[in-house]
Amino acid sequence: MKKSKMRIALLGAGGMARYHIEGFREGGADVVAVCDVNPDAAEKCASDFSIPAVYSSADEMIAAEKLDAVSVIVPNAFHAPLALKALKNSLHVYCEKPPALNARETMAMAKAAERAKKRLMFGFCNRARPEAAALRKEIRSGRFGKIDSAQAMWIRRTGIPGYGGWFTTKAVSGGGPLIDLLHGVDLALWFMGYPKGEYALARTFDTLVRDKKFRGPWGMPTFKDGTCDVESAAHAFVTLEGGACLSLRCSWAEMVEREMMSVSLQGAKEGADITRKFGVDGDDATAEDSCGLYSMSSSGKRIDKPLTDKRDEKMGRVRCAANFVRTVLGKEEPLSTPEEAVELMKIIDAVYKSARTGAPVKI
Ligand SMILES: NC(=O)c1ccc[n+]([C@@H]2O[C@H](COP(=O)([O-])OP(=O)(O)OC[C@H]3O[C@@H](n4cnc5c(N)ncnc54)[C@H](O)[C@@H]3O)[C@@H](O)[C@H]2O)c1
């Protein structure tokens, strides 16, 4: 008898759903249902991507479909409640980033996954980019020696995702660019083997978050009377267990040349960076990617080794979702673990707390 395919359903039919659908299908699963509290969004997604069943209640969907897994692709405040519901129903969970609003919620999700003996993985999709995979492989070979420091950055010039919508409402998003653009911080920690944070010292700024000039090309609606109580930029210094440190900078609105994401590392024997300069004003033709290793020969000559010229315009989103399916099917190692998500969110919490109190925070 032919073995039936893994059955997965979507919770959330917004902007990110398309990447999950493509990745789950690529990994070998059937996307059997989509649920959204906005029935029109669910209907449209089902029709655009040929998904057979539509729901507006997660409970009804879970009861009616014989699911193996769900993906949680909703505003951040609903990540933990929906993931916990799914895990309680013995389903594997793929959850978009950030893992949740804070470390406390993320820990509850990690514990629930352990209790249910189910996979809980996150959309840390930049780990699935070809450059990131190539660099991680080099780091794992040991050629860097001990890594002393990392610098992680995701900065935008005009990149505020709407005004007054869920992204700018702290109670729903958990914060602004620090929690939204946490990919660089996650990548840096992942390259370093995920050391725990020790102390954080930070400042956040909300100078530009309500200035319409910095709105940018994001397709989010503007709500005239909506809330805008998150930062527009975050800058922090974090010390890590084992003696290393991480500096981070995340912004939706700063007066820089253009949007840029980068992670740099300094090892005892070698340094590296991975950089994406996004296209000017959203024009992909002007995007620039680079990833390389930097060292010195015994005679003091510089050695620059470009790593890969492969690039992924989908920023690893499809490959990351496919890895979830392949992990559940036992065909690949997971790209992310709940333990890493907890450590990341402890650092994010500490950065926000330090910015609030003006003092260093023990993590
Ligand atoms: N990995 C990445 O590169 C990346 C990029 C963008 C967004 N994201 C993350 O993906 C998630 C979704 O973002 P988006 O851009 O798709 O948002 P979106 O606003 O486009 O869509 C969210 C959808 O969720 C629905 N929804 C809200 N509450 C719900 C609930 N309780 N049950 C079911 N549906 C519900 C909304 O009606 C909406 O259709 C967020 O956590 C965001 O941080 C990740």
**What are the C-alpha distances in Å from 233 to residues 127, 156, 159, 207, 356?**
23, 9, 11, 8, 14
Give the residue-averaged pLDDT of 240-250: 98
Whether residue 169 lies inside any domain: the answer is yes
What one-letter code names the amino acid at 230? Answer: V
Q: Is 101 in the pocket of ligand 1 (CB under 6 A)?
A: no
Q: What is the pTM of this model?
A: 0.96
Q: Quick one: 347 and 204 in the same domain?
A: yes
Q: Assess if residue 1 is contained within a domain.
A: no
Where residue 180 falls among pLDDT bands split at 50, 70, 90?
very high
Q: Measured in angstroms, how far is the CA atom of residue 80 from the centroid of ligand 1?
A: 13
- CA 319 / ligand 1 centre spacing (Å): 19
25 in a structural domain: yes
Please indicate, yes or no, whether residues 88 and 141 belong to a single structural domain of this protein.
Answer: no
Mark whether 291 and 182 lie in a shared domain: yes
In a domain, 103, yes or no: yes
Ligand 1 in contact with 81 (CB < 6 A)?
no
State the pLDDT confidence band at 220, using cuts at 50, 70 and 90: confident
Per-residue pLDDT at 3 = 66
Calculate how far, in angstroms, residue 285's C-alpha sits from the geometric centre of ligand 1: 27
Tens digits of residue pLDDT in 287-336: 888 999 999 999 999 999 999 778 888 999 999 999 999 999 999 999 99
- What is the sign, positive or negative, of the torsion defined by CA atoms of 340, 341, 345, 346? negative
Alpha carbon distance 95, 220 (integer Å): 21
Query: What is the tally of structural domains in the chain?
Result: 2
Considering the domain architecture, whether residues 85 and 105 belong to the same structural domain is answered as: yes
348-360 CB burial, b ≥16 within 10 A, e <16? bbbbbbbbeeeeb
Tell me, yes or no, whether 146 and 234 share the same domain.
yes
Q: pLDDT value at position 285?
A: 81
Whether residue 131 contacts residue 307, with contact meaning beta carbons closer than 8 Å, is answered with yes
> How is residue 62 written in tokens?
């879970």
In a domain, 275, yes or no: yes
237 and 178 together in one domain: yes
What pLDDT, on the 0 to 100 scale, is given for residue 2?
A: 60
- Least confident window among 104-113, 272-281, 296-305: 272-281
Asked whether residue 93 is assigned to any structural domain, the reply reads yes
pLDDT recorded at residue 286:
86
Q: Which of 76, 48, 47, 62 is nearest to 10 (CA)?
A: 62
- CATH at 164: 3.30.360.10
Closest Cα to atom 15 of ligand 1: 15
- How many residues are recorded in the chain? 363
Q: Are 160 and 212 in contact (CB under 8 A)?
A: no
User: Atom 27 in ligand 1: which residue has the minimum CA distance?
Assistant: 74
* pLDDT surpassing 60 at residue 175: yes
Q: Is residue 222 part of a domain?
A: yes
Let me know whether 158 and 246 are in one domain: yes
Same domain, 186 and 202: yes
Query: Is 110 part of any domain?
Result: yes
Residues 285 and 254 in one domain: yes
What is the chain's mean pLDDT, rounded? 95
Examine the domain organization and report whether 135 and 229 are in the same domain: yes
Q: Which element (helix H / strand E) includes 113?
A: helix 103-116
Phi-psi region at 110: left, alpha or beta (left = phi > 0; alpha = psi -120 to 50): alpha
Same domain, residue pair 349 and 327: no
Kindly state the tokens that stand for 212.
């319409």
Q: Is 173 helix (H, G, I), strand (E, B) or coil?
A: helix
**Does 325 share its domain with 306?**
no
Kindly tell me if the per-residue pLDDT of 212 is higher than 90: no
> What Cα–Cα distance (Å) separates residue 355 from each residue in 231, 250, 282, 359?
10, 13, 31, 7
**Looking at ligand 1, which residue's alpha carbon is closest to its atom 7?**
16
Return the CATH number at 14: 3.40.50.720
pLDDT of residue 283: 76
Instruction: Give the structural domain span for 193.
Output: 129-313+343-362
Q: How far is the CA of 123 from the centre of ligand 1 (A)?
A: 12
CA 165 from centroid of its chain's CA atoms: 20
Task: Identify whether the C-beta of residue 273 lies closer than 8 Å to the C-beta of residue 263.
Answer: yes
How far CA 116 is from CA of 64, 88, 176, 217, 344, in Å, comes to 20, 7, 32, 41, 23
